[in-house]
Amino acid sequence: MGREEGEKAEPVTPAGRFFLQPKGQNIIHCVVGTKDPIDIEATKAEIKTTLLKHPRFCSLLIRDKHGRELWQKTEVELENHIVYPDLSGLIGEEDEEEEVVINRYLGDLAVSSPLDETKPLWEIHVLRAQRCCVLRLHHALGDGISLMSLFLACCKRSGRPDLVPSLPQPKRRNLSPTTSVKEKLRRVVLMVWFTVVYCLQFVLYSLWMKDEETAISGGDGVELWPRTAATAHFRLDDMKLVKNAVRGTVNDVLFGVIASGLARYLKMRSPTKPAPGISGLALVNTRLRPGLQDPSLMLEPGSKTRWGNQMGYVVLPLDLQRKDPSDPLEYLKRAKALLDRKKLSLEAHFSYKMGSLIMSIFGPKVATWINYRVIARTTFTISNVVGPQEEMMFAGNPIRFLRASSTSIPHALTMHMVSYMGKVEMQILVAKDIIPDPRFLAKCFEDALHEMKDVASLPHANDQGRG
């Protein structure tokens, strides 16, 4: 591979430079399961006409004489990016369940060698017997919103190969035209107040604040520990039923399920200890337009929905002490109250802008050090990407499921949720010496939603949610 003549190198964005530092190296793993056996030649042909048309997928990472990272267009040898792994060592004598084998492989990938910088920073691992591919993508290429948006643009609707999948459109909570001046002023005051409080909390985590030590705590260096994975399965209709009981959102339900599930898990691991207070980091899209984007618009000069890493962190404190054992919706109500306050603040935008500012003033090493401290002093990572609810296909092969995870984070627990075709898959990646039983943890989350669903299905549930 060589550089293309006349192509000018593009600088890596400030956020992208963070992911190229030793402490910030991060690889996204997107698992795509298909209905039919994978046709390698058809898949290659589709990649050539879609992914390889995108500048980031045909660019080398280079550094100039000042050490600044740049993207340089190059020719791509597709064969060098496709891997056919040998999974024989991951399949047990009795336990050969497809999902278990895939998750074992993801655990191995999470601590395997980094992507080779002598070629564009992505790979596709083909697991033929499991009918799935693992897209291994360096986080410097873009965030989850960018990469998922691009992947969907490479797919077609099942039964309608002339159409791409429709992008989900998140609902905006705009004020009504009839909203009083007093109410508007109240919201502005609350926005300023919550922004100050939460941004100060974020700064304190980078200085000396730290979560209480628990059976799921990570810390400095844990990103190098051996990993294993598990998958929690939910139905989107169940989440919608539960959210309606408290007039909330699917994100409220997700956070409530995580709080309830972690409380169950920690009670099992430490039955004599009182429920702790811990916190997680949520990854939030900071673009003006929420949700998945049109990739063609993201590449236009001056676009307000730019390609790249346009995300900020939000600290989500969890109180796992159950105050009313008779109310299965207690964790959900607390989650909704917290997220309602977080939505009024500009915390995510603050963390993103501060990271960019520190990067430009002090350089990537200092910015990475500060960011790493915040992660290492909290307990878990969570993200959520809403995918299409219609079946889609890639290279003519219908897609069964979509999952995602990311690596090299000093948390012992990361959770990434992707919804598709009415199903919700939460990929759980853990440091297995700290959390040796991730499948049980996944069941704790599933049981938490089932308990909430049972209550939300009762006739009085909506009245309870308003109480």
Per residue of the chain (467 residues), give pLDDT as tens: 444 445 688 888 877 888 888 888 889 999 999 999 999 999 999 999 888 888 889 999 998 888 788 999 999 999 999 999 988 777 765 556 889 999 999 999 998 778 898 999 999 999 998 999 999 999 988 887 788 878 888 888 888 877 777 766 666 555 556 677 888 788 889 989 989 998 898 889 888 889 999 999 999 999 999 999 999 999 999 999 999 988 999 999 999 999 999 999 999 998 878 778 899 999 888 776 655 556 555 555 555 556 667 788 899 999 888 887 778 899 999 999 999 999 889 988 888 888 888 888 888 889 889 889 999 999 999 998 888 888 999 988 999 999 999 988 999 999 999 999 999 999 999 999 999 999 999 999 999 999 999 988 877 656 555 54
User: How far apart, in whole angstroms, are the C-alpha atoms of residue 375 and residue 222?
Assistant: 11
pLDDT of amino acid 2: 47
pLDDT of amino acid 331: 93
**Quick one: tokens of 135?**
């897209």
pLDDT of amino acid 1: 44
Asked whether the beta carbons of 376 and 219 are under 8 A apart, the reply is: yes
Pairing of strands 82-83, 122-127: parallel
CA nearest 365: which of 82, 141, 69, 10?
A: 69
**Quick one: tokens of 8?**
């000018």
Residue by residue, what is the 3-state secondary structure of the chain? CCECCCCCCEECCHHHHHCCCCCCCCEEEEEEEECCCCCHHHHHHHHHHCHHHCHHHHEEEEECCCCCEEEEEECCCHHHHEECCCCHHHCCCCCCCHHHHHHHHHHHHHCCCCCCCCCCCEEEEEECCCCEEEEEEEHHHCCHHHHHHHHHHCCEECCECCCCCCCCCCCCCCCCCCCCHHHHHHHHHHHHHHHHHHHHHHHHHHHCCCCCCCCCCCCCCHHHCCEEEEEEEEEHHHHHHHHHHCCCCHHHHHHHHHHHHHHHHHHHHCCCCCCCEEEEEEEEECCCCCCCCCHHHHCCCCCCCCCCCCEEEEEEEEECCCCCCCCCCHHHHHHHHHHHHHHHCCHHHHHHHHHHHHHHHHCHHHHHHHHHHHHHHCCEEEEEEECCCCCEEECCEEEEEEEEEECCCCCCEEEEEEEECCEEEEEEEEECCCCCCHHHHHHHHHHHHHHHHHHHCCCCHHHHHHC
Of 29, 81, 138, 139, the active-site residue reads 139
pLDDT of amino acid 319: 86
Q: Cβ atoms within 10 A of the Cβ of 439, count? A: 16
Asked whether the beta carbons of 445 and 427 are under 8 A apart, the reply is: no
Catalytic residue flag (residue 139): yes
pLDDT of amino acid 5: 47
